[in-house]
Chain A
Amino acid sequence: MTFEPITGRYLTVEVAGAPRRIYVEEAGQGRPVLCLHTAGADTMQWRHLMNDAEVTKHHRLIAFDMPWHGKSLPPKGFETEEYRLTTELYIETVLAVADGLGLERPILAGCSMGGRIALQLAALHGDRFSGFIAIEASDFQQSWYDIDWFHRPDAHGGEMGAALVSANISPYAPAEERWNTLWMFMSSGPGVFRGDLWFYTRDESLIDRLGQIDTARTPVHILVGAYDLTCTPEDAKRTAAAIPGATVSVMDELGHFPMSEHPAGFRPFFVDALARMQAPVVAD
């Protein structure tokens, strides 16, 4: 029997004035990389990179399930609450987890809504991190779906959500990982995907903040899959162009969940992104 190198533990942090029990996974040693999952999913999306010995040789990859997701509980009283993620709540959660883990200026790697909040953090709390890998990340775009489809009493939101987001998976993705990726959406809690999309599809505040990002102190590299219908290469390029010094790579055979849907295809892009996270020396 051989265990994977990933270990999982629970951490309780305070968010919005109340405790949140957060599930955290990690693997590796060296420079910390805090990894954020997409809407409607969980840390499983990062397992391939966390099991990659070459990646974890010099990087400590840490991923956590946002409250309401995966093995992190929703807050007390959730049964009467409508879950709606906001920029403020998301930022507070990421910073609380980073503080709770005692991370000193980690690299922040986030995908989709995780990429969006990575750019928000780059603009508002850039000094807390040493670089940003923003995957399938953009300033803002109108949704091409109705978020209310995904939380209704007469149909299974998870199965609908999975069928919808399959539009964002590349045809080059191996079938096994396509379905493993979709499984996370199928099994997410009721209203969770909708609540994440509330943040992702309605908050335009990043657009005016992109110019504040100081890439001389904290590099920003954006990765985008050509098969991503939600954050298209055009969306990512427009976003990168608004951040002085940001770089962008288009991944021709990947979609919206690259680290999960096609691990082998994504690996070289992620390794390249890590190599770009060396900030130039800035005199204080």
Chain B
Amino acid sequence: MLELLQRMQARLDASPHMLRLGRLISETVLLRVDGDEYYLVFDKGHLAEVVPGPSRKTPWRFAITTDSEALREFWKAHPKPGFHDIFGLVTIGRAKIEGDILAMVKNLRFFKEFLALPREEALA
């Protein structure tokens, strides 16, 4: 997962439109996958750091908790219904979002496109 997140980090840096969308975003997002924690530290639209957890000292703005099997389906070019969107994963009970959800919603296109970056690899 860490390696994949690092690939997403590089892909984000190579996506000018996403850096433009995210230019005001400097937040830490906690991603939990199969119980493993990853702190995604965004700085002005760049993913500055991916810090594996657990950590009790790292504050985060919002957290997304899911599982690797759900993400594998989510990242397919044509996921099954419900697996095609992060809110879909939430509605089918395969993900939950905690914390300041409004911070996510205000920048929803950026965070959705970031989370879907491996789907572009699937399409490639």
Specify the chain A residue showing the minimal Cβ separation from B83.
Answer: A171
Tell me which of A145, A162, A229 contacts B109 (CB under 8 A). A162
Number of A-B contacts (CB under 8 A): 44
The reply on A167 being an interface residue by CB < 8 A is yes
**Given A160-B105, A163-B109, A171-B84, residue A229 in contact with residue B77 (CB < 8 A):** no
Tell me which of A166, A170, A227 contacts B112 (CB under 8 A). A166
Interface string of A157-176 (1 = CB under 8 A from B): 00110111011001110000
The reply on B54 being an interface residue by CB < 8 A is no
Q: Smallest Cβ distance from A262 to chain B, in angstroms?
A: 12
Main secondary structure of the interface of B (DSSP, over half): helix
The reply on A135 being an interface residue by CB < 8 A is no
Interface string of B76-111 (1 = CB under 8 A from A): 011101101111101100000000001001101100
Q: Smallest Cβ distance from B75 to chain A, in angstroms?
A: 11
Determine whether the beta carbon of A144 is less than 8 Å from that of B77. Answer: no
Specify the chain A residue showing the minimal Cβ separation from B76.
Answer: A171
Q: Smallest Cβ distance from A218 to chain B, in angstroms?
A: 31
Kindly list chain B residues whose C-beta atoms are within 8 Å of the C-beta of A155.
Answer: 105-106
Determine whether the beta carbon of B91 is less than 8 Å from that of A164. Answer: no
Interface residue count on the A side (C-beta < 8 Å): 18
Interface string of A136-170 (1 = CB under 8 A from B): 00000000110001000011000110111011001
Kindly list chain B residues whose C-beta atoms are within 8 Å of the C-beta of A172.
Answer: 78
Interchain CA distance A160-B82 in the complex, whole Å: 20
Determine whether the beta carbon of B102 is less than 8 Å from that of A149. Answer: yes
Kindly list chain A residues whose C-beta atoms are within 8 Å of the C-beta of B90.
Answer: 144
Q: Smallest Cβ distance from B109 to chain A, in angstroms?
A: 4
Specify the chain B residue showing the minimal Cβ separation from A162.
Answer: B109
Determine whether the beta carbon of B106 is less than 8 Å from that of A229. Answer: no
The reply on A36 being an interface residue by CB < 8 A is no
Q: Smallest Cβ distance from B69 to chain A, in angstroms?
A: 18
Interchain CA distance A227-B82 in the complex, whole Å: 7
Kindly list chain B residues whose C-beta atoms are within 8 Å of the C-beta of A227.
Answer: 81, 84
Determine whether the beta carbon of A163 is less than 8 Å from that of B112. Answer: yes
**Given A171-B77, A171-B78, A229-B91, residue A164 in contact with residue B105 (CB < 8 A):** yes
The reply on A226 being an interface residue by CB < 8 A is yes
Interchain CA distance A163-B101 in the complex, whole Å: 14
Q: Smallest Cβ distance from B73 to chain A, in angstroms?
A: 11
Interface string of A33-71 (1 = CB under 8 A from B): 000000000000000000000000000000000000000
Specify the chain A residue showing the minimal Cβ separation from B109.
Answer: A163
| 24 contacts across the A-B interface (CB closer than 8 A) | A144-B90, A144-B91, A149-B102, A154-B106, A155-B106, A160-B105, A160-B108, A163-B108, A163-B109, A164-B105, A164-B108, A166-B112, A167-B85, A167-B86, A170-B84, A171-B77, A171-B78, A171-B79, A171-B84, A172-B78, A227-B81, A229-B82, A229-B88, A229-B91
